[in-house]
Amino acid sequence: MMASMIRSSIPISILVTLSSFAMAQKTSAPAEPGTAARANPVTDAKDQTPSDFARFVAAETGGHFDVAVTTYQNGDGVAVRCFAAVHIADAGHYQALQRRFATCGRLLYELVGPEDYRPKRGESRGGMVSLLQQGMKSGLELEFQLDGVDYGAENFVHADMTPEEFEASMDERGESLFSMMMQMGFDAQRRVNEADEDDAEEDVEEKPREKPVDLVQAFRSGEGRHQLRLLIAQQLEAIEGMSSGRGTTLLEGRNEKCLTVLKREIAAGHKDLGIYYGAAHLAHLERRLTEDMGFRKVDHEWLVAWDCTKRPDPKVDRELWRARRKAKDELASIRAAANKWLATQQDDSLSPSFEQLAFSGSRIDPWGKPYTLDVVDGICDVASLGQDGTLGTDDDLHAASPRERSQMDRERPRR
């Protein structure tokens, strides 16, 4: 039971995303550029509540889905930053978050699992979950939270229920994961019905209905990935609301465990704390912080989680796709050779040169730039600058995972 609970806790919002895809396909076109996808009774003001924690903003280039970082303070000088989590996002989003997490004295994170459970990249999470991960990661060029975030950082603190606590709380409330997911499905259908009713009440001559996006044709034309990103991104704000489960173990029960850990860390003298929980959790956490624990909102900002800017689809740009595939294979070959060389060394501070390695392929990437080899404390990364030839841009390719690169960056100053 424990293993299945761990696997089930995080991907529920992903399953809701797919179960709500029919609703997404009813979306005919993005909102007007520069506007949120729907009106909200919440605010992104720096000192007012209730706060907005997730939004889609349309733009001429496609738009972006954002999540909030909201800061609260109390009279004792304790600051709490709430980072709204989205379970699948651009890899760069998680890298930006990791840098911010490092500035927190304690970072409290959600994950139903054993006390102080820290997930590892590539850890098996079950058949359906694994299938969803691989499909969405490759189809949308996104990263999963559990793979993109380094949970091994020293300041990370597990602040969620154990599987036993989660199960006991559901039993006490007469709940089950199946009933929660069914309720989310009913909510999704209700929203579709309400949208249809609103459309029926509109004056067709005054506001003609636009044609739905033809995804099949979009993929044939090379815009499929872009259109699919847009369709799902525009629904994420509503989906967070559907998955909130107010009054349930899934939301408020786990939030109360988080607040218990928060109080413990404050009592231990920590003044700068972060909470990394799903966006759906934060409305309730904000109420508890401001109404019951003496905090006030002092700052609010947005981070881009999904950049939906229109970009070439490498599966249609066959030449680019083949070049990137070739580069990835060569990166993996060089890294395997470097790891084999490192295994023969007694001193893990040593770093091999390309001349010392036996690998298949070239030392030059498909765009004429040399691969780079970096080793820190026995962790090896091989990188390509990608087709634009510029370091630090989205098309860079790495053999090491984001988590491994984050660990290398942490260890580098010590050397």
Same-domain pairing of 194 and 53: yes
pLDDT reported for residue 313: 64
Q: What is the pLDDT of residue 179?
A: 67
Domain boundary among 282, 307, 332: 307
328 vs 316: CA distance, rounded Å = 18
Same domain, 285 and 185: yes
Confidence (pLDDT) at 21: 37
Res 20: pLDDT: 36
The answer on 343 and 298 residing in a single domain is no
- DSSP alpha helix (H) spans, 243-317: 254-267, 279-287
CB 16 within 8 A of CB 242: yes
Tell me, what's the pLDDT at 147?
85
Q: How far apart are CA 383 and CA 68, in angstroms?
A: 31
Does one domain contain both 262 and 343?
no
Q: Cβ(71)–Cβ(289) under 8 Å? A: no
**Cβ count near 220 (within 10 Å):** 11
10-residue mean pLDDT series, the chain (415 residues)? 39 41 36 47 90 90 91 97 92 94 97 87 60 66 86 95 89 74 63 58 50 55 69 72 59 93 97 95 95 97 90 68 90 92 82 87 92 90 92 89 87 67
**Res 394: pLDDT:** 81
In terms of residue numbers, what domain contains 15?
Answer: 2-307
Residues 94 and 193 in one domain: yes
What is the domain count for the chain? 2
Both 102 and 48 in one domain: the answer is yes
143 and 162: one domain? yes
Same domain, 189 and 329: no
Q: For residue 313, is it within any domain?
A: no
pTM score, whole prediction: 0.66
Residues 298, 322, single domain; the answer is: no
The secondary element (H helix, E strand) that includes residue 8 is: helix 2-9
pLDDT confidence of residue 85: 93
Q: Verify that 348 and 286 share a domain, yes or no.
A: no
Residues 86 and 169 occupy one common structural domain? yes
* Type and span of the H or E element at 72: strand 64-73
Q: Last residue of some domain: 285, 307, 329?
A: 307
Q: What is the pLDDT of residue 55?
A: 92
Question: What tokens were used for 318?
Answer: 């066959």
pLDDT of residue 28: 37
